[in-house]
Structure 1
Amino acid sequence: MRVALLALLSIWLQTGSTELGCRDENGNLVDWYYLYKLPEKVAAGRSETAGLHYTFVTAGQPSAGWQLSARNVNESESIPGRTVGPVLSAKNLLAVLYNDEPPEGKTDGLRGHTKGVVATDWTSGFWLIHSVPKYPPELGQEYHYPNTGRMYGQSFLCVSFGADQMDAIGGQLVLNEPHVYSYHVPDELRERFPKLVEATRMKTDSKPPHWNVLKMRSRAGVTFNSFAKNRYFKKELYADLIAPSLQSNLLVESWQHGAGNLPSDCSKPKWTVLNIEGVTIGQQYRFETLQDHSKWAVSGDSERRFICVGDINRQEHQKVRGGGSVCSE
């Protein structure tokens, strides 16, 4: 009996030490984190590390505010490296890597303008939403960060979930129409997560509804709302879906290079959506929107406090692209 108990204890310890979820720089499991990769010219430092510095906020130390990491985003010991690296080498996880600009091959200008990593096993998982083209590397490769991602600012949101939340996230992915460039589905998980499996098939459903709002709870019980749309929604994500759903004005940071940029929208009867023109992080880092590739929004109302991190730019052509955003509550 004692031997059996010791064996069970050993199994529990081994399983607990490799629990799947978002990780901090010490490898500790955290419920969520926000990460801002700083633009190259803002936090240049030494030339070999320019464009690799990042600031972060984690659920473990939310009151600390934005902290500048001593790590670089291309290191396996960085926050995204600790989170994504183990997934790249694991053989027993269901993992879906998606990016409209994959590490290899052509940019997909038809499917969703969406980037991220979803990974799960029988008990736990996470969803990492980011804005970095050509990232992360395919499954089976070592973790690294692309040189093409250095110049501009980039946004990351990671949330840890129980496995019971993960297939609903798969349903949001199906709506977002991701370009899945690398995935692994173990046979024993295929029936448990049918929507995640469906997302890997990259089929578009033209039948309504063309959008969905999903209320999710993190492992620690924190509520997040996922907003998803496909190409047939044909309206603007922030002004036509997020603002009316949250009943709040929005301040939006998104890519403003190229054609079709949408101006701030004050035309709606209730909610305004204003484009951000510059970002300040703490007392040290300031940069203009044109130096930033991030996609995020915050409440424009002083009595409301939430942040959304996602996929879509405020540009005319993105009305007919899939994508979404995940907002804190």
Structure 2
Amino acid sequence: MVLILRTVGFLVAVACFNVQCVLGKGKISCKDDKGKDVDWFVLYKLPKTRPTSGDYMSLNGEQMVYRDSRSRLNTWTLLKGSIYNTSNNPVKETLDPIYRKEKDVAYAAYNDQLPEGFKGTRGGHTKGILMAGIGEKIGTVWLQHSVPRFIEDIDNGYEYPKSGRENGQLFFCISTNVKFADIIAIHLFVQAANVYQTNAPDWAKKFPEFWKLLHKEYPSRTPKDLRVDFLLTNKRKLVMAIAKPPNWPKDI
């Protein structure tokens, strides 16, 4: 899960323990439903509800409400697309370089509830994708979410799991500089993130912690202390990231 707070121009992201590149071009960034770069977004996949009468809207478990760095304060947009479709979908647009199998894009997908065909566990209750590029694609995306079994096998293209229809699900995406890839990787080590799909181009060796994450080279012992760092988005918004070890004995 992700908790978002906005106050005095700051974004505070608490990561509990628990991109599209048009035609292969463009930097790694969070994207809106039209594939345009955004500094950050929050997307809530609405839960499925029982049929209703009158003026109330029945939800089939596919609808998305959305806000990003350009949204007016306290406003949300009901998107036209479905979380299951590849069009008008900020999640798919953001992760497009992964599904296009762009070899120079580094990424690590992690989830404590793996999709079919994958095995392993690390003990951390955390889900998301860390993706980065250099050169014309320079940038880092950290997409945190709450969806079990997502992302599924990239060889099959974009798929949202059928099991994700019933419940509401949350996505939080930030666009940041590639230099923060190491710090985010350290946070994922602290959280004992279970990495199960990766791509590790040679350029990623310049970022040793990120490189270890891409190769599932976990610390011999999971860190036991809370980790707090400040990240900076591309539009220079501060993001406070808090990583909690699985067995940390206190409440944040």
Which residue number in structure 2 is paired with residue 318 of structure 1?
A: none
8 Å contact 2:143–2:173 — kept in the other structure?
Answer: yes
Which residue number in structure 2 is paired with residue 292 of structure 1?
A: none
Is 1:102 aligned to 2:114, yes or no? yes
Which residue number in structure 1 is paired with residue 12 of structure 2?
A: none
2:44 aligns with one of 33, 36, 48? 36
8 Å contact 2:38–2:68 — kept in the other structure?
Answer: yes
Relative distance call for 1:50 and 1:230 in structure 2 (3 A) is: same
1:176 aligns with one of 187, 191, 210? 191
Identify the structure with the greater helix proportion.
1
1:62-91: CA deviation from partner (whole Å, max 9, x where unpaired): 337111111001112201011113222221
Secondary structure at 1:125's aligned position in 2? strand
- How many positions carry a matched residue from both structures? 222
Separation in 2, partners of 1:193, 1:164: 8
Which residue number in structure 2 is paired with residue 66 of structure 1?
A: 76
Q: CA deviation at 1:126?
A: 0.5
* Structure 2 unaligned blocks of 5 or more: 1-21
8 Å contact 1:100–1:107 — kept in the other structure?
Answer: no
Separation in 1, partners of 2:72, 2:49: 27
Which residue number in structure 1 is paired with residue 228 of structure 2?
A: 213
8 Å contact 1:97–1:180 — kept in the other structure?
Answer: yes
1:84-117: CA deviation from partner (whole Å, max 9, x where unpaired): 1322222111100011111124776652111000
Secondary structure at 2:156's aligned position in 1? coil
How well do the aligned residues superpose, as a CA RMSD in angstroms? Answer: 2.7
Secondary structure at 1:62's aligned position in 2? coil
Q: 1:10-49, aligned counterparts within 5 Å?
A: 17-41=25-49
Q: CA deviation at 1:181?
A: 1.1
Which residue number in structure 2 is paired with residue 224 of structure 1?
A: 239
Q: In terms of mean alpha carbon deviation, does 151-160 or 69-78 score higher?
A: 69-78
Amino acid at match of 1:140: D
Which structure has the larger Rg?
A: 1
TM norm structure 2: 0.79
Relative distance call for 1:107 and 1:153 in structure 2 (3 A) is: farther
The structure showing larger relative contact order (alpha-carbon pairs under 8 Å, at least 6 residues apart) is 2
Amino acid at match of 2:248: F
8 Å contact 2:44–2:169 — kept in the other structure?
Answer: yes
Q: 1:284-299, aligned counterparts within 5 Å?
A: none
Which residue number in structure 1 is paired with residue 10 of structure 2?
A: none
1:166-224: CA deviation from partner (whole Å, max 9, x where unpaired): 211111111111111100100222x2221122224152443755220011110100111
> Which 4+ residue blocks in structure 1 deviate beyond 6 angstroms?
42-47
1:93 aligns with one of 105, 108, 121? 105
8 Å contact 1:160–1:218 — kept in the other structure?
Answer: yes
Overall identity of the aligned pairs, in %: 27
Separation in 2, partners of 1:16, 1:222: 27
Amino acid at match of 2:238: T
Relative distance call for 1:216 and 1:42 in structure 2 (3 A) is: farther
1:116 aligns with one of 113, 116, 128? 128
Separation in 2, partners of 1:202, 1:177: 12
Separation in 2, partners of 1:42, 1:161: 40
Q: 1:1-329, aligned counterparts within 5 Å?
A: 17-41=25-49, 50-63=60-73, 65-77=75-87, 78-89=89-100, 90-105=102-117, 110-122=122-134, 123-189=138-204, 191-200=205-214, 201=216, 203-206=218-221, 209-235=224-250, 240-241=251-252
